[in-house]
Amino acid sequence: MKLDGKSAIVTGAASGIGREIALTFGRKGAKVAIADLNLAAAEEAAAAISALGTDAMGVAMDVANEEQVNAGVDAVAAKWGGVDILVSNAGIQIVNPIVDYTLADWKKMLAIHLDGAFLTTRACMRHMYSSGRGGTIIYIGSVHSKEASALKCAYVTAKHGLEGLAKVVAKEGAKHNVRSNLIAPGYVRTPLVDKQIPEQARELGISEEDVIKNVMLKDTVDGQFTTVEDVAQAVLFCATFPSNALTGQSLVVSHGWFMQ
Ligand code: NAD
């Protein structure tokens, strides 16, 4: 199997996109740590992966908390002899016009998306360097790493920032055989998006159907949502790519919503 024996950490993997990435890695033989705020759901996902015949564990982690990140990553590395793959996926959404966006919400968004990506990257890179094996880091960005939408100032800022981090990791990591790429999904029906539909309908004064059709999927080539499986396959492609030819890149998976 493509990832046999590799050890992977996926943040925010108790739900949605991260959960599917973790399951996909498990099906390919990787040992998978599900790092999430929600430990009960992380342990349930780990049990589903263990049932596939590989090793999995749930790790209680707020990705914005330095101590929790370092302790969680160190525990995974100690258990499985290192960390080969990090998927920085944990994220939330808070929508509001800029003029109504509170500083507390802005800081919370940047802490989870950017501090979280930085802290997990740093902790994992230390193990990737010291093991001598290198590794691969994949950021779950968004079409909002490339494009903007109204009401999403903090999200768009953070997702653009992740592209910069992915490029720096690619440059610094190369001599240690650490690669880094970003996957940029379009809209995927997960709890994160389901929560936004009524919020956007309220803010924009349109129906929920119109939010889906005329806001979320308006610029896709076929009016379709991207699926968790689509995103997981793109992540797997990056995780198993055999050389440094693919590093510092962004791969957009969005039914043509954004074309590079
Ligand atoms: P989701 O709400 O289904 O899952 C997010 C998970 O992250 C949850 O399990 C939650 O407990 C966890 N989490 C939240 N804050 C955390 C923290 N501080 N520390 C650790 N875990 C935390 O969301 P999703 O749609 O699967 O989103 C996953 C990622 O994909 C996010 O980064 C999101 O921005 C990105 N993304 C989502 C879409 C989409 O349309 N759903 C599109 C593009 C990008």
The rounded average pLDDT for each run of 10 residues, N- to C-terminus, in the chain (260 residues) is: 92 98 98 98 98 97 98 98 98 96 98 99 98 98 96 97 98 98 98 92 94 96 98 98 96 96
Compute the distance from residue 91 Cα to the ligand 1 centre, in Å.
4
Query: Sheet containing 56-60: which strands, arranged edge to edge?
Result: 56-60, 31-36, 7-11, 85-88, 135-140, 178-185, 249-253
Segments of the chain assigned to CATH 3.40.50.720: 7-185+227-253
Residues 143, 167, 27, 16, CA torsion sign: negative
Query: Which class is domain 7-185+227-253?
Result: alpha beta
Check if 129 is active-site: no
Q: Report which ligand 1 atom has the smallest distance to the Cα of 13.
A: 9
Compute the distance from residue 247 Cα to the ligand 1 centre, in Å.
23
CA-to-CA distance for 167 and 226, rounded, in angstroms?
Answer: 25
pLDDT of 167 reads 98
pLDDT of 260 reads 86
CB 59 within 8 A of CB 162: no
pLDDT of 2 reads 87
Write out the two tokens for 259. 């074309």
What are the phi and psi torsion angles at 3 (to 5°)?
-115, 20
Catalytic residue among 101, 129, 139, 155: 155
Q: Is the CB of 72 under 6 A from ligand 1?
A: no
Nearest partner of 226 among 260, 258, 178, 182, judged by Cα: 258
